[in-house]
A and B are shown apart, each in its own frame.
Chain A
Amino acid sequence: MTQWVLSGLAARVRTTRYPARQDQSPGVSPGFPVGRALADGDRGAVVERCPTGALTRRDRRIWVDPRRCVHCYRCARGDDALEWQQGYEWAAVATSRPAGEERTPPLSSAFARSLHVRVVDAGDCGACLHEVKQLANPYYNAHRLGFFFTPTPRHADILIVVGPGTDQMRTALEKAYTALPTPRRVIAVGACALSGSVFGPSFACSDGVRSIIPVDIEVPGGPPPPFAILHALLVATGRAQPAGWAAGTQWAARPGPAAEESGA
């Protein structure tokens, strides 16, 4: 017991300084591929190597859809490899809300130091949920920022949804959303929650959470690192700027087969 206390004191504070200071520790982020213009003679064969269809060719350019990328690094190898960008502040305000495409404003300052979060697993493989769970550990320590996890949506301001939204979880998700008191925000975490990824749409699940309930903030990645989820919570309370990918810098909607042909 004494040893435990002493060794704890000797270890000193290990908690990250983010968001006051960017965390540069190695391995905190898997990174994202960056799209590029196709040079003459470059067929862009790297696009075929992408298993989730996150890469597309259009207008002599390779586009990256962060909603689908699962960081498999297949496009990071070989002669025609894409460049990869580090960082983790990926959370973007969704543009896909049904009513008029308007974006949700951040929550008022009343929530700045007290935000209660309910996590719903909507068919997750365990990866995203694992990353969400890391927020409670001493390194990320979300409590220092005033984010708390609660076991019931009745006490929550934020619903974090992981997983593609399977049919079995559709009712539960709808009920959880209904049970949230207003003002409320939904954060979809992970490629599956944003687009269905490799799972959906299919006979058993939808193409992402937004086809079940309105999504306010999107966190790409498969799974996203804990910092990206922390960033999303900061964005939800207006304490950080959202990433710009949703506005169209790197983003491209997944075109149908015909569009892909014409783009090629």
Chain B
Amino acid sequence: MIEAVGIGAFFLLCALGALLALLSPQRRNPAVLAVTGAAAAIALSIAAADALFTGQSYLADLWSLPWGGTLRLGLDRISGLFLLIAGIIHLATSIFSGGYLRRYLGHYSLRSFSVLYHSLFASIGAVLLARDALSFLLTWEMMSIASALLVMYEHRREENVRAGYLMLAMGEAGTLAVVIALLLLGNAAGSLDFHAMRASGPALGSGARWAIFLLSLFGFGVKAGLVPFNSWLPRAHPVAPANVSALLSGVILNLGIYGIVRVNVDILPASLVGAGVVALIVGAVSAFVGILYATTDNDAKGMLAHSSIENMGIIVVGLGAGFVFTAAGRPALAGMAFVAALYHLTNHSVYKALLFLGAGTVDYRAGTRDLDRLGGLIRTMPWTALYFLVGSLSIAAMYPFSGFASEWLTLQVLLRSVELTSTAVKLVYAFTGVVLALTAALAVTCFVKAFAMGFLGMCRSREAEQATEAPRSMLAPMGALAALCIVLGVIPTFVIPTLSGALASVGDGRATEALVPAFFSSSPDHSALPAAFVSDFHDLGAETGESFIPGRGLVVLHRGGPDNPVIFAMSTSYGVVVLVILLGVLAGIVLWTTRRRRVTREAHWDGGVRQLFPEMTYTATGFSNPVRVVFDAILRPRTVEDTEETVAQHFRVAIRRAREPVYLVDRLFLDVLTAQLMRGARLLARMHRGKVNAYVAYVLGALIVFLILSVMV
């Protein structure tokens, strides 16, 4: 009931928002968008949360087409999870837009933005609600087109338009692959309905399974920004308005993952170990390439876009591990892997939306996104700086912020490869683990750079000096997302059962039992735990807080076989309490011992120069240069200028050397593909000389060939 009302209200509010946007004057538009967008997001969130937490499902037949079956909308727990994330992110960005969109007033049409924004939101909701291939593909296309148009919103800049078209072109290629995958499934089922596809799934042969897996992985992978189909992402995400960037990274990338999960976890559970290995490798490479380019990118939003690729890579690694475990018949481990992936997806949506909103605020108030020209904003924009710091710590997987628990779980899941038999697969797991460890280290470097160069030190440009704090309507959503980052990191024991419930169709809740044991004697499953095990953990304090904590114990752990009862255990919840107490005690000791200390404040030591100019300080380029040097063989930037200026042919007065980054995926994949296509086109062009006689000859030739063929067949 709540679902039906919520979904109905959501679509109505989206339509109302688009309508009001057309009716209201330009300068009122941001406020109207904030209200209608937020209301639609709340309606959607309530429906999704009810489906996710209570497991209520909902199914509605829209109408029947004589040639395409019935168009169906439905809401199950896994859709509920993605819809809830979309609703929360949309709530934040809608409120944020109220202040942010004012920067476009008088430059671009806010009316068209509003209409596109609402139609994007509606189509995202519809993609996640679709229960048959036809409505899924229709809404998927709507979503692709609306998002590409929003990327091109600042259409007077050529790069934006190019990025939008590239995004659309690559997205369409991906959609084509998805269409084929869904048709293969539908062909086997004789129906385009997801339910029917699921029922006929087990009958498919391994060839069809491979085809469906690869097509869906790479087809949806285009949307999710997986290597090698992601060269649109680092171009399109930075140039979109910040609120749209937050949606692109926080919601639309998730749709790619949703597609992969829907096809390969729900409809056709993986039965091929090789398929999981492919996903592991694709994920690991995406993660590494993403973070490498993020570390060396000085554009605040470009860096975040590359970092999205990294996070999607980590998520796909989790999924890949889950596919392998499913195929190997280890459902509990598979459940853990899927939970790790979905946990990371949730975290990524929240902190990446937060970081994009933060970067957008900086762009709006300081007039630039170039980290080399920012700096010192913590003095003028303290709240934005605080929220950006929380986001940075989360994305860098710092304890106890949100990225930590999910990345830790992903790595732990990879270590569970000891329970597999094949050495080759174990090697792939090891390789993936190593790459993810390197990625995590680079992520810390990357976000130290982002925060330090953006907010600390001296202002490196006049715009940055004159920046002012954003209005409260922009700060409030960022603050809420920052709080959510901390909450998601501190209470994994509440998040994991929810996610495990969302995956109930594949995991059977076994991930919950493996990861979050019911330590509290009041919990229903408590009696199932071995007594010795409980008493061991009782001594460690795992049952602390039983009387007042409404849920499972606050320890995440996994038990292996009977010989080795505990393989890993971790608790961010208790850890945070200990951390706060320790820091408090430490602060007390320091304050007590230094209470009589006289403090004199002098200028910082600057090497004794007369005046320290911003040009003399560390820049983002300088900070990331070691990474650039170490990975030069991979990055291989193009030297665009290398000249010397001399006086009297001897005395050098200037050396100019400029290098331009080339995206690895472009160099190895897209450029090669384009070159081959152009070669083919040139070959074909030889036929077209423009002489009428030649064309008549072609027609005649074709006719003769077809006549011969028809006679022969």
Contacts and interface: CB of A to CB of B under 8 A. Distances in A.
Interface of A: 120, 152-154, 169, 171-173, 175-176, 178-179
Nearest to A151: B607
Q: Which 8 pairs show the lowest CB-CB distances between chains A and B?
A: A172-B608, A179-B605, A178-B602, A175-B608, A154-B605, A171-B610, A176-B608, A152-B605
Interface string B393-424: 00000000000000000000000000000000
Contact of A178 (B603, B607, B610): B603
A169 B609 CA distance: 9
Contacts of A120: 608
Contacts of B608: 120, 169, 171-173, 175-176
B606 interface: yes
Q: Which of B602, B603, B606, B608 has the most CB of A within 10 A?
A: B608
A175 B606 CA distance: 8
B609 A172 contact: yes
Interface residues of B, number: 8
Contacts of B609: 172
Interface in B686-700: none
A178 B600 CA distance: 10
A120 B605 CA distance: 14
A178 B608 CA distance: 10
A154 B603 CA distance: 11
Nearest to A153: B605
Contacts of B606: 175
A172 B608 CA distance: 4
Nearest to A178: B602
Contacts of B602: 178-179
Contacts of A153: 605
A68 B537 CA distance: 78
B657 to A, nearest CB: 29
B618 to A, nearest CB: 15
Interface string B92-122: 0000000000000000000000000000000
Contacts of B610: 171
Given A176-B605, A178-B603, A179-B605, 7 more contacts: A153-B605, A172-B608, A173-B608, A175-B606, A175-B608, A176-B608, A178-B602
A120 B602 CA distance: 19
Nearest to A180: B605
A172 B603 CA distance: 12
A157 to B, nearest CB: 15
A222 to B, nearest CB: 25
A216 to B, nearest CB: 19
Contacts of B607: 172
B596 to A, nearest CB: 14
B47 to A, nearest CB: 59
Contacts of B605: 152-154, 175-176, 179
Of B602, B603, B605, B610, chain A has the most CB atoms within 10 Å of the CB of B605
Contact of B603 (A152, A173, A175): A175
A154 B605 CA distance: 7
A172 B602 CA distance: 14
A175 B610 CA distance: 9
